Chain A
């Protein structure tokens, strides 16, 4: 598939915004959806509506099969050893909250410590702060250097006999830093500490092999990889999952229900209480097939080239400062424009049909560390082309004249 033909798969790109060609550079917030995903959603809501894992009628069976087939696809996509290690959640946020609640309940006690990093999205900070309001735990943060890379020597120093978990992002949603998670994981394991990887920003750009990485948990969202909203994945090693208490109570997660207590269903269902986002999970399969059809290696290569092109196009703009210079970057470029507030920058680009993200990017701690309050971020994926970046660069030049 060439990129021009890839654009054809995304109906959203074939529209005018404010009378201008639409330039979408906010895929790190959410990706657009290919037609196959939209059609699968429509099919489910038009004809195939049924609840799953219960009932024996035709559509209930069809839905259950399609839902469970998605689980197989996801397991294969990240090379999980067992399909039962794939839990469907509402998104990355929900996946992390699940671990904070269950692992936190069972394995983290008063006086214990966990390790996060300065690069984390609020989704990987607040669940732990909530846990720390229930139990007296200490949260430690791996610092970053001036380029926006984690300082690994500091990381190693943070471990004590009280450390119970490391939870860290694979790719920073602000700086694009690709963390050396393989090293982070193996060091945590030498200390006997399990590790969760927030894959929200990596899943769309980097081939993930959870067995090779040997991470204990990996969390991501379907909507950031061409899939529907309301679906996320929590990968967790089977051995750990078996030991965790349930997250939420409700239908589907129980085996035998008594008046006082009940026994729970097997994994993964034990962690999937209530009716899930059935149509969305089924349509998520199409997103994975779409990625597979293009090829993850090709996607990574394409994204890398586009990123390089973006940096060469933006760097020469007078007054423009690219934030961070990590050793390895993926998917996003954040920047500021001298004497221009990023809100104005975003609004004036929007006026030209160019969508980027502005603000604090749900990473207030990182922003504080960078000494910034608001920045602009362009992010891209397979349907973007060099000409989108050219339009961005021209658009930014116009901002200065405008103000």
Chain B
């Protein structure tokens, strides 16, 4: 079982070999295409991330053993769905304290921040916040 930090490192090395935004978008879109479909019943208003140009849902639950956060997500836009898929791949199955103790500065290192995160329209920051917020609520 790889740890959260290992998965972050994997993502950094995968993205850092890509030279331009075009390839990064392609990879994100592929991530999105490989994301397991989200159950329609989870696409609720509660799970909808506000403020993005596209609709993006993120659903978090805690495993029965109470030690792992399980994430599911979807979006109607391909790039946004790719971002959701990347975050899910990285964070899902991590424990709340692992999430809270790991820095989020990998976003810079992946090289997508410049293109994506200043603009709230794609929901990257909002999704990340939601994950951390959920981890926090489960740790209390």
Contact = CB atoms under 8 A, between A and B. Distances in A.
B18 interface: no
A344 B121 contact: no
B51 to A, nearest CB: 11
A343 B54 contact: yes
Contacts of B121: 343, 358-359
Interface of B: 20-22, 25-26, 29, 52-55, 76-80, 121-122
A347 B54 contact: no
A293 interface: no
Contact of A374 (B20, B21, B54, B78): B54
Contact of A341 (B20, B22, B26, B54): B54
Interface of A: 18-19, 340-344, 346-348, 351, 358-360, 373-374, 402-403
A179 to B, nearest CB: 27
Contact of B77 (A19, A341, A351): A341
B54 to A, nearest CB: 4
A360 B121 CA distance: 11
A403 B53 contact: no
Nearest to A373: B55
Contact of A343 (B21, B26, B77): B77
- Interface SS of chain B: helix, strand, loop or mixed? helix
B53 A342 contact: yes
Given A341-B78, A344-B77, A344-B79, A374 B26 contact: no
Contacts of A403: 29, 78
B120 to A, nearest CB: 11
A358 to B, nearest CB: 6
Contacts of B80: 341, 343-344
A359 B53 contact: yes
Contacts of A344: 54, 77-80
A343 B81 CA distance: 11
A348 B53 contact: no
B77 A348 contact: no
